[in-house]
Amino acid sequence: MKALVYHGPGNKAWEEVPKPTLQADTDAIVRVDAVTICGTDLHILKGDVPAVTDGRILGHEAVGTVEEVGPGVKNVRVGDRVLVSCITSCGSCRYCREGSYGQCLGGGGWILGHKIDGTQAEYVRVPFADTSTYAAPEGVSDEQLLMLADILPTGYEVGVLNGHVSPGDVVAIVGAGPIGLAAIMGARLYSPAHVVAIDKADSRLEAAKQFGADVTVNNDREDPAEVIAGLTGGLGADVAIEAVGVPATFELAATLIRPCGRVANIGVHGEPATLHLEDLWIRNVTITTGLVDTYSTPTLLQLVTANQVDPRPFVTHHFPMAEFLDAYDTFARAGETGALKVVLTRS
Ligand SMILES: NC(=O)c1ccc[n+]([C@@H]2O[C@H](COP(=O)([O-])OP(=O)(O)OC[C@H]3O[C@@H](n4cnc5c(N)ncnc54)[C@H](O)[C@@H]3O)[C@@H](O)[C@H]2O)c1
Ligand SMILES: [Zn+2]
Ligand SMILES: [Zn+2]
């Protein structure tokens, strides 16, 4: 089969590799029907995630059809259409029992396209298939469903829920890539007073408006702190969500927050950021970090099925899998191409 293989920082190839086989009784082999690229894959390609080594198939988001299941798989059957979540869960360790699947101690967590071969391939081996896949609901297309593999639960759990977005809040979202946009969409469910999107790319700020931000700030041209001060009588944002993953944006989020506010970091960071504790200690600020757990996936599936959340606007580009390198290029130059999520399907 063909797959997108990582060959060290800056290097990747769409190349022939062996088709995966069952390795444990609880595995499934899924034929990938639709797959996408994440900002985290770009971090991996920059060398920010050293656990990913040469030869690894990237990708942690997919919708596909089950081809084969091990004898220990109880609920997933050959032929089922499933969502392959970015988080794999053993279902029985201490963390999985608490719903913190991202921290799974039983061999799950974020492993696809990280510690084991991922979904940017014609076939993928999914460990713990019963607890790591979700049956596709009728009436929800592959590409809609694909947005629930990572971006929607991440924006919702690590941004909106960790940040405790509440009615009437002024919510600042730093970074309007797919994750920031998912956080905007999730924040809107709680009737905030204002959602302020901050980004350096005007194309992303345009998208942010469509996803429900009522104020946008290009921080190359305007000072977000002044804009937020103007909306909050000088206090600062109730919630600041960081959705970029570089020191400057974490530090910016921490300066935008009001006393007793909450900074929710979503970004994957590859280097240290400065925490200005000398300013923050007296302000009762809460800072949260997190890897997505995907405990909200059932809720999000309900919202999508009921048309309360519409993932379709995320999908800006379509490619056949054979054009994976072009898809990466389009996604990596999002500021110019206007790409949000690129969807690749079987050619
Ligand atoms: N915590 C998790 O579980 C989790 C899961 C998925 C993704 N992530 C991370 O979330 C982050 C966002 O992902 P994405 O797919 O939206 O990435 P992306 O690269 O598509 O979007 C990032 C956005 O930030 C903007 N930006 C860059 N520098 C900026 C600056 N100095 N000021 C303002 N805006 C700036 C870019 O223009 C872009 O629009 C990444 O770090 C990704 O790795 C985390
Ligand atoms: Zn991701
Ligand atoms: Zn577990």
Nearest ligand 1 atom to the CA of 289 is 1
Calculate how far, in angstroms, residue 330's C-alpha sits from the geometric centre of ligand 1. 16
Whether residue 182 contacts residue 154, with contact meaning beta carbons closer than 8 Å, is answered with yes
Q: Which of 171, 167, 188, 158 is nearest to 258 (CA)?
A: 171
Q: Is 270 close to ligand 1, i.e. is its CB under 6 Å away? A: no
Q: Is 219 close to ligand 1, i.e. is its CB under 6 Å away? A: yes
Residue 288: DSSP 8-state? E
Nearest CA to ligand 1 atom 10: 267
Q: How far is CA 227 from the centre of its chain?
A: 27
Block residue for tokens 């941004």: 159
Q: Is 154 close to ligand 1, i.e. is its CB under 6 Å away? A: yes
Residues in the chain, overall count: 347
Whether residue 236 contacts residue 259, with contact meaning beta carbons closer than 8 Å, is answered with yes
Contacts of 13 (CB under 8 A, 6+ apart): 4, 5, 7, 325
pLDDT per residue as tens digits for the range 221-266: 999 999 999 999 999 999 999 999 999 999 999 999 999 999 999 9
Whether residue 101 contacts residue 95, with contact meaning beta carbons closer than 8 Å, is answered with yes
pLDDT per residue as tens digits for the range 142-198: 999 999 999 999 999 999 999 999 999 999 999 999 999 999 999 999 999 999 999
Calculate how far, in angstroms, residue 150's C-alpha sits from the geometric centre of ligand 1. 13
**Residue 48: band (very low, low, confident or very high) from pLDDT cuts 50, 70, 90:** confident
Q: Is 340 close to ligand 1, i.e. is its CB under 6 Å away? A: no
Q: Is 159 close to ligand 1, i.e. is its CB under 6 Å away? A: no
pLDDT per residue as tens digits for the range 55-101: 999 999 999 999 999 999 999 999 999 999 999 999 999 999 999 99
Please tell me the predicted confidence (pLDDT) of residue 33: 98
**Residue 216: band (very low, low, confident or very high) from pLDDT cuts 50, 70, 90:** very high
Kindly tell me the burial class for residue 165, based on how many C-beta atoms sit within 10 Å of its own C-beta (0-12, 13-18, 19 or more): buried
Q: Is 345 close to ligand 1, i.e. is its CB under 6 Å away? A: no
Q: Both ends of the chain: CA-CA distance in Å?
A: 13
**Residue 308: band (very low, low, confident or very high) from pLDDT cuts 50, 70, 90:** very high
**Percent of the chain residues topping a pLDDT of 90:** 97
Contacts of 245 (CB under 8 A, 6+ apart): 39, 43, 48, 175, 266, 267, 268, 269, 270
Please give the Cα distance from 304 to 229 (Å, whole number): 35
Q: Is 150 close to ligand 1, i.e. is its CB under 6 Å away? A: yes
Calculate how far, in angstroms, residue 83's C-alpha sits from the geometric centre of ligand 3. 19
Q: Which residues of 2-15 are buried (b: 16+ CB within 10 A; e: fewer)?
A: bbbbbeeeeebebe
